Amino acid sequence: MKKRIIDLVNEQYKAPKGLLGVYFGEKMVRQHKIETLWTLELLKLQDNDYVLELGCGAGYAVKRVLRDSNVKKVVGFDLSQTALASARFRNRANIYNSRAKFVLGNVNSLPFQDGMYSKVYSIQSVYFWESIHDSINEIYRVLKPGGSLIITLSDGKNGIPWMNIRRMLLEDLIPNMKIRGFKNIELLEGPTSRGYNSVAIVGDKQISL
């Protein structure tokens, strides 16, 4: 019984569904607010930016970007129809004025043209990517030359590191970014949120010569 409950909760965090999914979507908004605001600061948004959020959930970060900057447009991307319904409701005014759009899909195969986005970011969703290799390839493809990627996640709690997450960062995520051609890759230490340590992996797509 306990395992079934844990599996249900984990599935709702990965892809919220139904009324329970709406609750979990709003819960994640509250839980991740500190690292969300930190990530948006790291983006250093400019007026001409075309921005993509991977794993946008209930759309809180998209709304903050559009409230606090004059970027051209933000596209929220998620694999949960329930989360996207919440995101569209939260951002209905910006959808109406064409500054926000929400798209259903999997990060392993992004339905966007090459070089569309100047900034791509993801907050607390990389754990659920089926293939880091495929996802990094797709992100690199849709980034403009000179564009930036920020992936924010937690790698420990109460001062105790999560070794499986650290291995994923150091042995999978960062090496795949280097192989694909990302430059200026850094691992940044972020704020503590509810006892969880936040980190961000940042990198830039090289400008074509």
pTM: 0.88
How far apart are the C-alpha atoms of 197 and 191, rounded to whole Å? 7
* 40 phi and psi angles, rounded to 5 deg: -65, -30
Q: What is the pLDDT along the chain (209 residues), one digit of tens a residue?
A: 544 433 433 444 445 544 454 545 555 666 778 999 999 999 999 999 999 999 999 999 999 999 988 999 999 999 999 999 999 999 999 999 999 999 999 999 999 999 999 999 999 999 999 999 999 999 999 999 999 999 999 999 998 999 999 999 999 999 999 999 999 999 999 999 889 999 999 999 988 65
Is the CB of residue 108 less than 8 Å from the CB of residue 135? yes
Domain harbouring 167, CATH code: 3.40.50.150
Alpha-helical segments (H) within the chain = 2-14, 18-31, 33-43, 60-68, 81-90, 92-96, 132-142, 163-168, 174-180
Q: What DSSP character marks residue 171?
A: I
Domain extent at residue 142: 2-205
Is the CB of residue 21 less than 8 Å from the CB of residue 82? yes
Domain count of the fold of the chain? 1
Is the CB of residue 203 less than 8 Å from the CB of residue 182? yes
Alpha-carbon dihedral sign for residues 192, 55, 143, 74:
negative
